[in-house]
Amino acid sequence: MLNSNSNIAVSSRSFCRSVELRTRLDNVFNDVKYNDQLEHFNEESLIKFFSDAEAVIVSEDKISKNVIDALPNLRILAKFGVGLDSIDIEYLKEKNIILGWNPGINAEAVAQLSLSYIILMLREAYPLNRKLINNEWAKIKESRDMSGLTIGIVGYGNVGKKLASYLKIFDTDVIAYDPFLQQDRALSEGVKLVSFDEILNYSDALSLHVPLNEDTKNLFGKKEINKMKKGSVLVNLSRGGVVQETALLEALESGHLSGAASDVFEHEPENTNIFHSTLLNNPNFFSTPHIAGTTNQTIQTLGENAIKSPLVYWCNLTKHGF
């Protein structure tokens, strides 16, 4: 059982940047180790950092079987974020390590950014901005507003549902693909449930919101992207591995896709190789460094939940004001 003298380690960089979250955690535990250098850990350095920790708070760090085996004192792992693809969940269960996880907390932030990216690429705002920076006062080739367009959502979970609610403001047809979604529920929320091929064929803009697992790895490869409506837009705020980046680049260079926006990459954060430079330099590709769910509000909420669930519950520390 954890207590106020238990060893706690926080590798999450966003958590470590927050003075308020650190203060709240320090008010509960006496021995907290923070990632003050904001280091991106590899497996070896992560094991060294966590060493004797009984509870850890992580973001994007890969928690593999090797890492778990190297931490014999670990009792609780709290996730600062919603994606679990970097954590060996089954092995955590096997080792009886408690997982603190709160899906849906950042759904509003991610959905808002998804909507902004869809509009940004449909209006050609980003490629025109790049030309303006290069002293070229370019004319619009094909700028589209949302009215009358079909917007597809792949993955109708917390984020997909929130995005659909935002899209209702516009005169758009919203369609969704999700093998776990019932047609009745979708229709009750003003969304038409379609097959995977249909959402590829009919969407003027397609927004991805699925977890990364064996079923979704390279879900959008060359074959699937080529089935997309010519001149359509692809937005990915799920996980980088969902889209095959070589196929995406080819579709942008050929003009099959008019634009794409992504907040995620297959390999993060080491996006420095030649291929990524080619993709990043494509004038019709807009990208951000995995910040969709990172706002002041979500950081605070994620941090508080990382502390509360399950640390505070297990430690019976509600008397400290949580």
User: Greater confidence, 305 or 108?
Assistant: 108
Query: Which of the following is catalytic: 24, 75, 144, 290?
Result: 290
Sheet containing 285-287: order of strands: 192-193, 173-177, 150-154, 205-208, 232-236, 257-262, 285-287
Res 313: pLDDT: 45
Let me know if 209 is a catalytic residue: no
Neighbours of 154 (CB within 10 A): 25
Yes or no: say if 228 and 258 are a contact pair by the CB < 8 Å rule: no
With left for phi above 0 and alpha for psi between -120 and 50, is residue 190 left, alpha or beta? left
Mean pLDDT of 93-108: 89
Residues 212-231: tens digit of each pLDDT? 999 999 999 999 999 999 99
Percent of the chain that is helix, strand, coil (3-state, to 5): 40, 15, 45
Least Cα distance to 151 among 36, 235, 74, 264 occurs for 235
Res 261: pLDDT: 97
Instruction: Please give the Cα distance from 18 to 25 (Å, whole number).
Output: 11
Let me know if 108 is a catalytic residue: no
Mean pLDDT of 167-184: 92
Residues 6+ apart with CB under 8 A from 95: 68, 74
Q: Which residue has the tokens 């379609």?
A: 194
Mean pLDDT of 160-182: 94
Res 246: pLDDT: 94
pLDDT over 90 at 266, yes or no: no
Domains and CATH numbers, the chain: 7-103+295-320 (3.40.50.720), 107-287 (3.40.50.720)
Query: Which of the following is catalytic: 24, 239, 245, 266?
Result: 239
pLDDT over 60 at 271, yes or no: no
- pTM for the complete prediction? 0.84
Least Cα distance to 204 among 166, 224, 175 occurs for 175
Least Cα distance to 58 among 44, 73, 76 occurs for 76
Let me know if 239 is a catalytic residue: yes
Query: Which of the following is catalytic: 13, 40, 268, 276?
Result: 268
Q: Is the peptide bond before 310 cis (omega within 30 degrees of 0)?
A: yes
